[in-house]
């Protein structure tokens, strides 16, 4: 198998540094608020601290988080979207009088990606944090509609813990575009001067477990995508090739802005000897050998888990730019908005 393990630690360190940089953005003055968004790292993996905006000499940043950050569509579980407005100078959580949320979701249809409205409402939390809880097991009987909580002055009111129970829509894996306005004073509406406006792209990852991976019923293959839903996967019993796809919008301008990372994984059972004992492998991204894209775009980790061989695909902006440029040269820039991954032991 190719000696790609030397890149594994480097990749993890790079991802850590990028996460750290999210917390070090500068402040914006009150005069800039009307025309400025606080933007976090694009396609962040399930959480983001949006850089602070300065209101009444107080720097206020917004922490948003999916919990859990990666989900299996076949598992019923509590899924949350959490908001915390933080005074970053004193490390104190603030409670806005209202939070307006426009939530858009990337959907994949006919080989293209569209950004569709997912949720649009105004909320008030009775706690220092606002929690939207989807697919909740705590749904109250006898109450119909989108939420389990009351409407007061056109705002959805949380319970005493700051939680709003969302009956619909269902929160599934994908990339979500969050447009958020927080109002800090009771008498001002969201168009007044005492609101802060934030903008972020947040990823809810996807887990796909494939049972009966081989003739041995104990062989279970797991595919993870930290960015988006897994569209389809395949195991070729004749060649032992594993392949899978996720959506990806090839926008050169957005890629050039940087801070876009793709991270997917294969978890292959170690007792499946064809993979674990392979002398070499053919690993491709969009049918291109990974070393032609970047030697650090793939790492193979046989050590961190005693039960699995883990194959990491990590694409930074430079790698994604090469893939986008290759598509443009082939005349594919406006079709098949997907990323393809494959692994073939030899």
Of 214, 279, 203, 260, nearest in space to 241 by CA: 214
Given 179, 202, 225, which residue is the final one in a domain? 202
Please report whether residue 196 resides in a domain. Answer: yes
Count: domains in the chain: 2
Please report whether residue 14 resides in a domain. Answer: no
pLDDT in tens, 195-246: 899 999 999 999 999 876 666 666 688 999 999 999 999 988 888 899 999 9
> In the structure encoding, which two tokens stand for residue 11, read together?
């990749």
- Which H or E run includes 312? strand 308-315
Please report whether residue 8 resides in a domain. Answer: no
Please report whether residue 90 resides in a domain. Answer: yes
Report the Cα–Cα distance between both ends of the chain, in Å, rounded.
8
Instruction: Choose the most confident range, by mean pLDDT, from 29-43, 53-67, 125-139, 323-337.
Output: 53-67
**Are the C-beta atoms of 235 and 102 separated by less than 8 Å?**
no
Given 202, 221, 250, which residue is the final one in a domain? 202
pLDDT of residue 14: 46
Q: Do residues 63 and 186 both lie within one domain?
A: yes
Please report whether residue 189 resides in a domain. Answer: yes
Q: Do residues 229 and 176 both lie within one domain?
A: no
**Are the C-beta atoms of 171 and 204 separated by less than 8 Å?**
yes
- Whether the CA torsion 52, 54, 56, 58 is positive or negative: it is positive
Instruction: Specify which residues 202 forms β-bridges with.
Output: 44, 176
pLDDT of residue 188: 53
Give me the half-sphere count of Cα atoms (radius 13 Å) on the Cβ side of residue 59. 15
Comparing 75-84, 98-107, 143-152, 255-264, which segment has the lowest mean pLDDT? Answer: 143-152
**Averaged over 111-129, what is the pLDDT?**
94
Q: Do residues 38 and 120 both lie within one domain?
A: yes
Cα–Cα distance between 328 and 280 in angstroms, integer? 31
Please report whether residue 239 resides in a domain. Answer: yes
Domain extent, residue 247, equals 205-345
Q: Do residues 147 and 284 both lie within one domain?
A: no
Pick the more confident residue, 30 or 113: 113
Please report whether residue 74 resides in a domain. Answer: yes
Cα 251–chain centre separation = 18
pLDDT in tens, 2-46: 444 434 434 443 443 344 333 333 333 322 333 334 444 455 689
Of 345, 331, 111, 146, nearest in space to 239 by CA: 345
Cα 336–chain centre separation = 21
Q: Do residues 198 and 210 both lie within one domain?
A: no
Q: Do residues 181 and 273 both lie within one domain?
A: no
Confidence of residue 187 (pLDDT cuts 50, 70, 90): low
pLDDT of residue 212: 67
Q: Do residues 156 and 217 both lie within one domain?
A: no
**Averaged over 138-145, what is the pLDDT?**
48
Please report whether residue 15 resides in a domain. Answer: no
Cα 46–chain centre separation = 5
Residue 187 burial (C-beta neighbours within 10 Å; 0-12, 13-18, 19+): exposed
Residue 31 main-chain phi, psi, to 5 deg: -70, -15
Cα–Cα distance between 310 and 265 in angstroms, integer? 7
pLDDT in tens, 287-299: 999 999 999 999 9
Given 158, 181, 202, which residue is the final one in a domain? 202
Cα–Cα distance between 60 and 56 in angstroms, integer? 10
Q: Do residues 47 and 171 both lie within one domain?
A: yes
Cα–Cα distance between 130 and 111 in angstroms, integer? 36
Q: Do residues 89 and 184 both lie within one domain?
A: yes
Cα–Cα distance between 281 and 220 in angstroms, integer? 20
Q: Do residues 229 and 172 both lie within one domain?
A: no
The alpha helices in 234-287, defined as continuous H runs, are 252-256, 273-276
CA angle 249, 292, 22 (to 5 degrees): 50
Q: Do residues 235 and 300 both lie within one domain?
A: yes
Q: Do residues 144 and 252 both lie within one domain?
A: no
Residue 158 DSSP label: P
pLDDT in tens, 301-331: 988 988 889 999 999 999 999 999 999 898 8
Helix (H, G, I), strand (E, B) or coil at 127: coil
């Amino acid at each position: 198998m190719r000696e790609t393990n030397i890149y594994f630690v480097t990749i993890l360190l790079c991802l850590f540094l990028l996460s750290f940089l999210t917390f070090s953005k500068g402040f914006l003055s009150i005069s800039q608020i009307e025309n400025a968004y606080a933007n976090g790292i694009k396609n962040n993996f399930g959480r983001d601290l949006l850089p602070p905006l300065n209101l009444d000499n107080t720097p206020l940043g917004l922490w948003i988080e999916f919990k859990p950050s990666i989900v299996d569509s076949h598992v019923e579980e509590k899924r949350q979207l959490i908001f915390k407005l933080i005074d970053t100078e004193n490390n104190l959580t603030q409670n806005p009088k209202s939070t307006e949320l426009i939530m858009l979701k990337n959907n994949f249809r006919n080989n293209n990606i569209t950004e569709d409205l997912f949720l649009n409402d105004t909320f008030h939390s009775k706690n220092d944090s606002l929690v939207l809880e989807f697919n909740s097991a705590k749904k109250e009987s006898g109450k119909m509609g989108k939420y389990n909580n009351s409407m007061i002055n056109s705002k959805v009111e949380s319970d005493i813990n700051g939680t709003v129970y969302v009956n619909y829509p269902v929160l599934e894996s994908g990339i979500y575009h969050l447009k958020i306005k927080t109002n800090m004073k009771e008498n001002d509406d969201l168009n007044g001067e005492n609101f802060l406006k934030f903008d972020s792209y947040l990823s809810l990852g996807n887990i796909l477990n494939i049972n009966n991976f081989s003739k041995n019923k104990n062989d279970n293959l797991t595919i993870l995508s930290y960015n988006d839903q897994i569209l389809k996967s395949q195991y070729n019993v004749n060649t032992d090739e594993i392949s899978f796809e996720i959506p990806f919008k090839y926008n050169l301008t957005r890629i050039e802005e940087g801070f876009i990372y793709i991270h997917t994984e294969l978890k292959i059972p170690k007792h499946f000897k064809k993979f674990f004992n392979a002398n070499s492998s053919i690993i491709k991204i969009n049918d291109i050998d990974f070393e032609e894209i970047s030697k650090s775009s793939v790492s193979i980790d046989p050590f961190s888990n005693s039960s699995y061989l883990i194959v990491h695909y990590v694409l930074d902006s430079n790698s994604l730019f090469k893939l986008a440029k290759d598509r443009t040269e082939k005349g594919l820039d406006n079709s098949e908005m997907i990323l393809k991954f494959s692994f073939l032991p030899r």
